[in-house]
Structure 1
Amino acid sequence: MLLLLAPLHALAVETMRIAMGDAQGDVRVSGKGLSFGSDTEDARFSPLEQEAVVVRRRGSRLELNGAPVMGSAVRFRAGLDSQALRAGDMAVRGDVVVRLYKDGLQLINVIPLEDYLAAVLGGEMPVSFPPEALKAQAVAARTYALQKKLEAYGAPFYVGSSVLHQVYGGVNREDARTRIAVEATRGEVLTYDLAPIEAYFHASCGGHTESGWDALQRDLPYLQAVDCPCGRLPASRWSATVTDAELRAALGQSPEGFRVTSRTATHRVNRVTASGGASVDGVTLRRKLGYTKLKSLDFDAERTSGGWRLNGRGYGHGAGLCQWGAKALADQGRSYRDILQHYYPGTELQQLY
């Protein structure tokens, strides 16, 4: 039996395409009222009359429960918009696309933007934070997503689901409080010169955010170094121990004579050197040592027996919205609009839809 995929009506909502992950030989998709169609916005979906199917790669073709499918991708939908689909180890709203990718399969979630944001908030910010902080995060996340969509328009997906973009864990990360924050700011985005900004954000800046150029090599007028109340919070302080072996691997030679040789205007490490001549920029050092160990580049180092003690401030690259700072400002009675203006100076808050 050959399963044909044919077109119908498009959904008139803003959607995102999120890479959920890759799979090898096959993947199981399940959901109530399951139907399938082609990976187009005007696809006709045909009922499957079963609540679970297995999509398998067979050479350069796809099979659905053993039957060949035309095309390089197949898209699944639950019976009702509010129902979730499970694909692999993630439950999501919206549609799930399974496509041929490299030697295996790739899973993509096609989801209404506002549903996506409700889950992103639950992955990016503690839901116990004040409502105004959650609203500020909702606007930043919406703006970031739309900017990435414009940048990648026409590509199979716009963003991933890991910390490299925005953390997205599907319906398990939704919460009533994230839904409220998203709905309260529905359609609101930050713009500069009438275009959505690159709305970067991070957990904690340690007292001063970083310029876009120093943090990300993005020379953007709205990513400026600003003072932040998070520096007074215990959550902004950290310490870590780095062994000589770890530092040797990061530097590519002996760590003897390791020292910080230059810093940015906000005290973040710009470059380190060792007596043997090794010289590494701060961003590379953090990547090689690991982001969870070297939580930020605002640190001081002291020699210990067999290693180094790093005492630091903040968590993340430091550019844009500081999440713990947003909490502190919200606790002071500042609105989400005030918070956004503080961390993205010169931007405008606009109602896109």
Structure 2
Amino acid sequence: MLRPVALLLLLLAAPRSLAVETLRIAIEDTGGEVRISGRGLGFGADSEEATFVAIPSDVAVVRRKAGKLEVNGAPVLGDSVRFRAGLSSTEDAGSSPGEQPIKAGGTQVRGDVVVRPLREGLQLINVIPLEDYLAAVLGSEMPVSFPLEALKAQAVAARTYALQKKLESYSNAFHLGSSVLHQVYGGVNREDPRTRTAVDATRGLVLTYELAPIEAYFHASCGGRTESGQDALHRDLPYLQPVDCPCGRLPASRWSASMSDAEIKSALKRPAQGMKVTARTSTRRVTRVTMGDGSSLDGVELRRRLGYTRLKSLDFEVERVEHGYMFTGRGYGHGAGLCQWGAKALADKGKGYVDILTHYYPGAELQQLY
């Protein structure tokens, strides 16, 4: 059911002159020099009202020299510079970004690119319309071959997550990063016609709780039951509660990993012998392991040290084998919120994206932001 949008959400909206919601995404940290290119390239101040000056060569080399920025050898005013592609002699400062891709360092993106000093080098920030951002996020976070209803559910979750992070960091230089620490964002190369379709079909839809955007966490596979926000992320949120999930019956949810005593000792900085699980959550995810010497380690820290791609989740059993340990588990990721493989399984059974979202975020409501 759609309800009126809260004032809090309205405050997130872009200036009316742009009529589009934008995000600032940190895409790359570089050394003291970076190359920016694009058809009809221009540069200006880092402002929505900036006037852009055309660069005839469509290429800009930005250097940091004595703490200041230079564009093609000429110093620029201010502590940052913003680039936009697709300019023409008739365009004015109010033109919408995102019409023409722009290459910044090793990434091609839509929207504008801001270059600013960071520590001893430079930082690249992509200022991009939210819906363009989502089309690339979907192609980075979920297989594009998944059913369209699963992709739609992911689009709403990703849009909600991005807006909540924007609200949380509204006055910062950027709102999100581009890695797994936030949402994986690979730029234009990760877009796909199916991700565009899913984004367009859910345009402006967000999940809310008490009329504010929720923290819409998601993960690859829960292994059969999602985890609470408190146990997975130390986020005690009413809409992140354990629910049953059909992904537990899928081969993709099962994994195993063997590690030698030497590998574990190197990762943990202590002997591995005698490792055993001594505490679990209500969904049987490991919260503590104890070693033979009596020392113990938090489950989340164990997974971080042994590697997220090897210890894919905390829903595992551990068995002593010759010269090491065998870990056998279910799921991939922290387990809270939307389960992507579970969304696929539900969509395969005919469930729509609204049903999928309602299942994984109990108590959250769907609202039309724009």
Residue of structure 2 equivalent to 1:58:
65
Matches within 5 A, 1:69-80: 69-79=76-86
- Give 1:49's match in structure 2, choosing from 41, 44, 56: 56
What is the number of equivalent residue pairs in this alignment?
A: 345
- Partner of residue 190, structure 1: 207
Aligned twin of 1:203: 220
1:19 to 1, 17, 26: 26
What aligned pairs does 1:169-188 form with structure 2 within 5 A after superposition? 169-188=186-205
Matched, 1:28 2:35: yes
Residue 161 of structure 2 aligns to a residue whose secondary structure is: helix
* 1:118 counterpart SS class: helix
Range 41-50 or range 286-295, more displaced: 41-50
Normalising by the residue count of structure 2, what TM-score does the alignment of the two structures yield? 0.92
Unaligned runs of 5+ in 2: 1-15, 88-97
CA offsets, 1:133-184, max 9 Å, x none?
0000000000000000000001010100001100000000000000000000
- Residue 334 of structure 2 is matched in structure 1 by 317
The equivalent residue for 1:4 is none
Find the counterpart in structure 2 of residue 131 from structure 1: 148
Query: In structure 2, how many angstroms separate the alpha carbons of the residues matched to 1:333 and 1:256?
Result: 48
Deviations 1:96-124 (A, max 9, x none): 00001111100000000000000000000
Q: Counterparts in 2 of 1:331-350, with a 5 A limit?
A: 331-350=348-367
Pair 1:292 & 2:299 matched: no
36-45 or 340-349: which moved more? 36-45
* Counterpart position of 2:281: 264
Q: Relative contact order, CA 8 A, sep 6+: which one is greater?
A: 2
Cα distance, 1:252 vs structure 2: 3.2
1-structure distance, mates of 2:267, 2:336: 24
Distance 1:45 1:336 in 2: 41
Q: 1:232 aligns with which of 249, 262, 269?
A: 249
Q: Which runs of 4+ in 1 moved over 4 A?
A: none
Q: Distance in 2 between matches of 1:70 and 1:265?
A: 57
Identity of counterpart residues, as a percentage?
71
**What SS does structure 1 have at the residue aligned with 2:164?**
helix
5+ residue gaps, structure 1? 1-8
Please give the root-mean-square deviation of Cα atoms over the aligned residues, in Å. 1.0
User: Shift of the alpha carbon at 1:10?
Assistant: 5.2
Please give the alpha-carbon distance, in whole angstroms, between the structure 1 residues aligned to 2:272 and 2:256.
19
Structure 1 distance, partners of 2:238, 2:269, is 36
For residues 324 and 341 of structure 2, what CA distance do their matches in structure 1 show? 31
Q: Distance in 2 between matches of 1:10 and 1:278?
A: 60
1:152 matched to 2:142? The reply is no
Letter of the structure 2 residue corresponding to residue 60 of structure 1: G
How many angstroms apart in 2 are the aligned matches of 1:24 and 1:30?
A: 17
Q: C-alpha displacement at 1:258, in angstroms?
A: 0.6
The alignment status of 1:37 with 2:54, answered yes or no, reads no
Q: 1:86 aligns with which of 83, 103, 125?
A: 103
